Amino acid sequence: MDRPLEGIRVLDLTQAYSGPFCTMNLADHGAEVIKIERPGAGDQTRSWGPMENDFSGYYAYINRNKKGITLNLASEEGKKIFTELVKTADVVCENYKVGVLEKLGFSYEALKEINPRIIYGSISGFGLTGDLASRPCYDIVAQAMSGMMSVTGFADGPPCKIGPSVGDSYTGAYLCMGVLMALYEREKTGVGRRIDVAMVDTLFSTMENFVVEYTIAGKHPHRAGNQDPSIAPFDSFHAKDADFVMGCGTDRMFAGLCKAMSKEDLIDDPRFKTNLDRCENYLKDLKPIIEEWTQTKTVDELEEIISSLSIPFGPIYTIPEIAEHALTKERNMLWDVYQPGMNTTIRIPGSPIKIHGEEDKAQKGAPILGEDNVAVYSEVLGLSAEEIKALEENNVI
Just list the catalytic residues: 168
* Half-sphere exposure in the Cβ direction for 372 (13 Å, CA): 19
- Please say whether the beta carbons of 182 and 193 come within 8 A: yes
Residues 121-139 as b or e (16 or more Cβ within 10 Å = b) = bbbbbbbbeeeeeeeebeb
Please give the Cα distance from 181 to 193 (Å, whole number): 10
Residue type, 81: I
- Please say whether the beta carbons of 366 and 63 come within 8 A: yes
- DSSP letter at 359 equals -
Q: Could you give the strand order of the β-sheet that contains 234-238, starting from the edge strand earlier in sequence?
A: 234-238, 243-247, 313-315
Residues 195-224 as b or e (16 or more Cβ within 10 Å = b) = bbbbbbbbbbeebeebeebeeeeeeebebb
- Smallest CA-to-CA distance from 14 within 128, 70, 93, 124 is with 93
- Smallest CA-to-CA distance from 28 within 291, 296, 378, 337 is with 337
- Where helices occur in 197-332 by DSSP H, the ranges are 199-205, 209-215, 251-260, 275-280, 287-294, 299-307, 319-323, 326-330
Please give the Cα distance from 19 to 195 (Å, whole number): 13
Residues β-bridged to residue 339: 344
* Cβ count near 159 (within 10 Å): 14
Please give the Cα distance from 308 to 313 (Å, whole number): 10
